[in-house]
């Protein structure tokens, strides 16, 4: 595991057999990088599933002037349980900037190609559906491939 230089994110995963959907909870982030001149960031999280023939992309609210934002937001991706082993959940954390492009803060990818705790949370979500599986993960500095 890399250090905490880019902060951490706490998420929950639950596969709902009734809704036939992956429910992703964005709980909070810790120790994000200060990107603004005031010593803070204005973070929000974008998330999507890859591949996803619906091309759904979601994002949380912006938490102004906050390096330890609490989001407590949930997002639903309808998908077959049998498709999950081929899919990857991608989360990117951004600093909201008006009038110019947003600053990238870090990312997290969860799927079969993940390692360690990231892989364990993904596998547990598939093996034990209808339960919330919580995981605190370090954010990577490398942006995900498009």
Cα three-residue angle 96-100-102, rounded to 5 degrees: 35
- How far, in Å, CA of 50 to CA of 32, rounded? 25
pTM of the model: 0.94
Cβ atoms of 23 and 47 within 8 Å: the answer is no
Give the pLDDT confidence score for residue 1 in this predicted structure. Answer: 43
pLDDT at res. 2: 47
**CATH level 3 topology of 8-138:** Immunoglobulin-like (2.60.40)
Domain range list for the chain: 8-138
Q: What is the pLDDT at residue 54? A: 86
Tokens describing residue 76: 């639903």
pLDDT tens, residue order, the chain (146 aa) = 445 578 999 999 999 999 999 999 999 999 999 998 999 999 999 999 999 888 899 999 999 999 999 999 999 999 999 999 999 999 999 999 988 899 999 999 999 999 999 999 999 999 999 999 999 999 998 888 76
Q: Which residues are 22's β-sheet partners? A: 15, 77
d(CA 119, CA 31) in angstroms, rounded, equals 23
Q: What is the pLDDT of residue 145?
A: 72
């Amino acid at each position: 595991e890399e250090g905490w230089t880019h902060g951490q994110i706490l998420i929950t995963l639950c596969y709902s057999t009734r809704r036939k959907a992956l429910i992703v909870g964005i709980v909070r982030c810790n120790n994000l990088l200060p990107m603004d001149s005031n010593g803070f960031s204005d973070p929000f999280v974008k998330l999507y599933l890859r591949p996803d023939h619906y091309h759904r992309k979601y994002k949380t609210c912006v938490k102004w002037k906050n390096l330890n934002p609490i989001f407590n937001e949930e997002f639903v991706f309808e998908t077959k349980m049998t498709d999950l082993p081929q899919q990857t959940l991608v989360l990117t954390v951004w600093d909201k900037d008006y009038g110019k492009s947003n600053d990238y803060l870090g990312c997290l990818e969860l799927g079969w190609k993940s390692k360690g705790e990231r892989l364990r949370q993904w596998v547990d979500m598939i093996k034990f559906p209808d339960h919330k599986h919580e995981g605190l993960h370090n954010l990577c500095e490398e942006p995900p491939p498009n």
